[in-house]
Amino acid sequence: MMRSLLGHQPLVVTIDGDEVVLTGMVAGPAGSHGFEVAGMTIEIDAASSGVLNRVTIENASQLSIERHSLLALLLGSDHADELVEMLARGDHKGRLDGQSNITRHSSRGSVDTDVAALATVLSTAARPGLLIEEAAVLALAAAVLGQRVDLLTAMPELVREAEAAAQLLVDHGPELAATLGTRGVFHAIATLNDVIPLLPTALGAAVHALAMNLSPAEDRPTIGSPPLGEGIDATFSVDSLPLLVADQQPTVRHLSNDEYEVRLPGWADRIDDWWVRVYLPGDAAAVAIVPLMPAESDAVATFLLDPTEHGSIELDIVDDAFEPRSSPHLAAFKAALAAGRRATRLERLGEIGPARAQWLRSADLHNDAGDEWRSRTARAIADNALGGSQPLRRLRIQPIITDVTGPIV
């Protein structure tokens, strides 16, 4: 049997015009990691990397020979053939039954581990808060993983992005070690060596020289969480970007009678068109919207507010100043998924105690969002992290470059 990169689990098929949705298991408490390939969107469970959540196929009627071959590689030839037959009959609903399909990289019926890693890398590369060197290393890792699972023909952009990333890293080589820290450098060296065969000869040689000369620098300091400050009761929404990205609490400081400062220590190079919005408690309209700007190594924003009229304020930090303010339930849901993803990252790094703390936080936040099922699931994962009596069977990938890049918490 031809290997199936997405495993052979039961899938519910829904056909609506030219769009086909294949639904596996509902996304768990950490949500999904996803990527697009040839008009298909693949979503893999972030908490259980062997589980396929959903595949969405656009323009499904236009199944060329090449696209059918890709579908067979992803789903297996039997599932691909069944799906083509459903489309030919004009079916609107159906089911693809799971079968045993064991490969070198997967357990019974599960998603290929390299595909799960590719989804994690691409999903992480799209998140805010990355330095350009970190994003470049992720681009190299994505190309390497794409080559391993034979998807580069269908995803040629991975090679183009890897070439641009490799050139950037060659140009910024001296700063790379300090940016990535000790753990990140060791992963980066392996990734640099693995990507060389995919690069033009001259660029590959420059990358090889970079890998040979790269050595760990002193680790970056962990970003702290200082107190909020004095002068006003200030609360940040749990879906503020620094909290989602790295569980980093900004500070609020009273500068003068009516002037206040928001500061993110060490984040000057991580912000990209980020905005601080200030609200009166419960209001949907902001009373102040100000940009975060670099101030030496920090990111800083200042705003004016009369403290004699407003005893407390609520703030959020976003990358779109005009997006609606999240409701408390939506903010809690976003934060719950982020906590779950931090937990999976910590698990891959072997940091079980901190991972359990993040799963418990995810459970509390899902409960705040009104999602009892995901709250129970996150709590069950946390209990199993300490060897509970009814362990959950979750397939997890090994540590990857995404686990040692980005803000370290």
* Model pLDDT for residues 50-98, shown as the tens digit of each residue: 999 999 999 887 777 778 889 999 998 888 899 888 988 888 999 998 6
Region 185-201: mean pLDDT is: 91
Domain that holds residue 313: 233-325
* Same domain (yes/no): 90, 34: yes
* Same domain (yes/no): 266, 309: yes
Q: What's the confidence (pLDDT) of residue 306?
A: 82
One-letter identity of residue 351: E
Last residue of a domain, one of 83, 112, 141: 112
Indicate whether 379 belongs to any domain. yes
Distance CA 77, CA 1 (A): 8
Distance CA 134, CA 168 (A): 11
Distance CA 52, CA 311 (A): 48
Distance CA 289, CA 311 (A): 19
One-letter identity of residue 293: M
* Same domain (yes/no): 194, 239: no
Last residue of a domain, one of 296, 325, 354: 325
In the numeric block, the tokens 């799209």 are attached to 126
Distance CA 326, CA 333 (A): 10
**Residue 2: how many other CB atoms lie within 10 Å:** 13
Asked whether the beta carbons of 8 and 76 are under 8 A apart, the reply is yes
Q: Which helix (H) or strand (E) holds 252?
A: strand 251-254
* Same domain (yes/no): 102, 174: no
* Same domain (yes/no): 28, 107: yes
Q: For residue range 87-132, list pLDDT tens digits in order.
A: 888 889 999 986 544 444 444 458 999 999 999 999 999 889 988 8
Tally of domains within the chain? 4
Question: Over 70: is that where the pLDDT of 404 sits?
Answer: yes
Indicate whether 224 belongs to any domain. no
Region 177-192: mean pLDDT is: 80
- Domain with residue 303: its CATH number is 2.60.40
Q: What's the confidence (pLDDT) of residue 2?
A: 55
CA angle, corner 222, sides to 221 and 228, nearest 5? 120
Q: What is the mean pLDDT of the chain?
A: 86
> Which of these, 99, 84, 118, 93, lies nearest to 4 by C-alpha position?
99
138: helix, coil or strand? helix
Region 278-298: mean pLDDT is: 93
Q: How far is the CA of 52 from the CAs of 22, 70, 112, 342, 399, in angstroms?
A: 9, 17, 10, 20, 20
